[in-house]
């Protein structure tokens, strides 16, 4: 694990690292915010919120734009931002579009050639990266997971597929039913092929009926989000939750869009939601 940069922030530290991923067969970069209590003499290990970003993002968008460090520093919570895909593999078509390949890993394990060897972001964010961090950094195995858009989808499926692994989950404007929207269909066809039964393993709305743990979902959605109608489908997720008696708080925010100005406006509510589950509030 090579440290690329560090910036002091609200008494804690924002750091960037590069490491070799054995799961993705390439070098990966990620960012971490460590709160003041995790640093210096008398430091203690702290729980972690994993943040999964959306299409086109890197490890930096959330760290630079969400304004989450102030409350995370107060709560004593680490935040980890992985990248959104493997990079620089020279696979055919890897860099041809914003919604497939680089920057668009969709937090699944690809089964279709040529993606299946490298595009295993699910294994990376659920298993490999936490194992590495819990070994190398002052963080515990108490985890929350959240994300935005493609990363909101990622957060939901990571939690739903792994009972006991996360204490809490939330999402901003998630792609809540990817099997039924253009972004999801393009990604699932490309990474998984045409078998819709395979798709269902990576679709939060379709995972709800079989969920083995009733972890409450906190989902924020702006009503002026330019992708709400065509791509996001929070109602489908809420309907599935209602049928399955799975707890969800879906908050519709009038006038808010898909940007980080929306995320910044409500991130503190999410940090407190995770902080409560992680024993920090």
Which chain residues interact with a second copy by CB under 8 A? 7-11, 14, 64-65, 67, 69-70, 222, 224, 253, 255-257, 259-262, 264-265
Active site (annotated) includes residue 225: yes
Catalytic residue, from 85, 149, 168, 170: name it.
149
Write down the catalytic residue from 258, 270, 273, 274. Answer: 258
CA neighbor of 50 nearest in space, from 144, 123, 142 = 144
Give 3-state DSSP helix, strand, coil % of the chain, rounded to 5: 35, 25, 35
Rounded distance between C-alpha atoms, residue 106 and residue 175, angstroms: 10
Residue nearer to a second copy on the CB measure, 11 or 138: 11
Q: Does residue 102 carry a catalytic annotation?
A: no
Shortest distance (Å) from residue 9 CB to a second copy:
4
The smaller minimum CB distance to a second copy, of residues 25 and 261, is found at 261
Tokens 């739903």, located at residue: 160
Distance from C-alpha of 34 to C-alpha of 147, rounded to nearest angstrom? 18
Catalytic residue among 225, 246, 268, 273: 225
Nearer to a second copy, 60 or 162 (CB): 60
What's the closest the beta carbon of residue 165 comes to a second copy, in angstroms?
Answer: 30
Whole-number minimum distance, CB 138 to a second copy, in Å? Answer: 17
Query: How far apart are CB 11 and a second copy at their closest, in Å?
Result: 8
Nearer to a second copy, 135 or 254 (CB): 254
Three-state SS at 134: helix
| Smallest gap from residue 46 Cβ to a second copy (A) | 19
149 annotated active-site: yes
Q: Mention every residue, 6+ apart, whose C-beta is less than 8 A from residue 78.
A: 32, 33, 34, 35, 38, 46, 47, 48, 49, 72, 137, 138, 139
109: its two tokens: 């394990």
C-beta of residue 176 within 8 angstroms of C-beta of residue 208: no
For a second copy, the closer CB: 6 or 131:
6
- What separation in angstroms does the CA of 86 have from each of 49, 54, 122? 21, 14, 12
Task: Please identify every residue annotated as catalytic.
Answer: 149, 225, 258
């Amino acid at each position: 694990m090579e440290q690329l940069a560090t910036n002091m922030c609200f008494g804690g530290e924002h750091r960037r690292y590069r490491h070799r991923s054995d799961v993705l067969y390439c070098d990966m970069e990620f960012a971490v915010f460590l709160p003041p209590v995790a640093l210096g003499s008398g430091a203690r290990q702290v729980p972690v919120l994993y943040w999964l970003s959306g299409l086109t993002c890197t490890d930096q968008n959330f760290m630079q734009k969400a304004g989450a460090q102030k409350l995370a520093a107060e709560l004593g919570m680490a935040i980890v931002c992985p990248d959104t895909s493997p990079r620089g593999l020279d696979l055919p078509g890897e860099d041809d579009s914003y919604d497939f390949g680089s920057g668009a890993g969709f937090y699944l394990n690809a089964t279709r050639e040529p993606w299946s060897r490298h595009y295993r972001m699910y294994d990376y964010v659920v298993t490999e990266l936490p194992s590495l961090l819990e070994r190398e950094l002052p963080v515990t195995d108490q985890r929350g997971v959240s994300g935005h858009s493609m990363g909101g989808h990622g957060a939901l499926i990571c939690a739903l597929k792994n009972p006991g692994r996360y204490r809490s989950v939330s999402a901003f404007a998630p792609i809540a039913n990817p099997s039924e929207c253009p972004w999801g269909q393009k990604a699932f066809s490309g990474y998984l092929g045409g078998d819709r039964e395979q798709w269902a393993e990576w679709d939060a709305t379709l995972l709800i009926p079989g969920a083995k743990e009733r972890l409450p979902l906190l989902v924020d959605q702006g009503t002026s989000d330019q992708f709400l109608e065509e791509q996001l489908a929070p109602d489908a997720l809420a309907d599935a939750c209602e049928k399955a008696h799975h707890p969800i708080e879906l908050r519709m925010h009038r006038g808010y869009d898909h940007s980080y100005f929306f995320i910044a406006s409500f991130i503190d509510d999410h940090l407190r939601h995770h902080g409560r589950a992680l024993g920090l509030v």
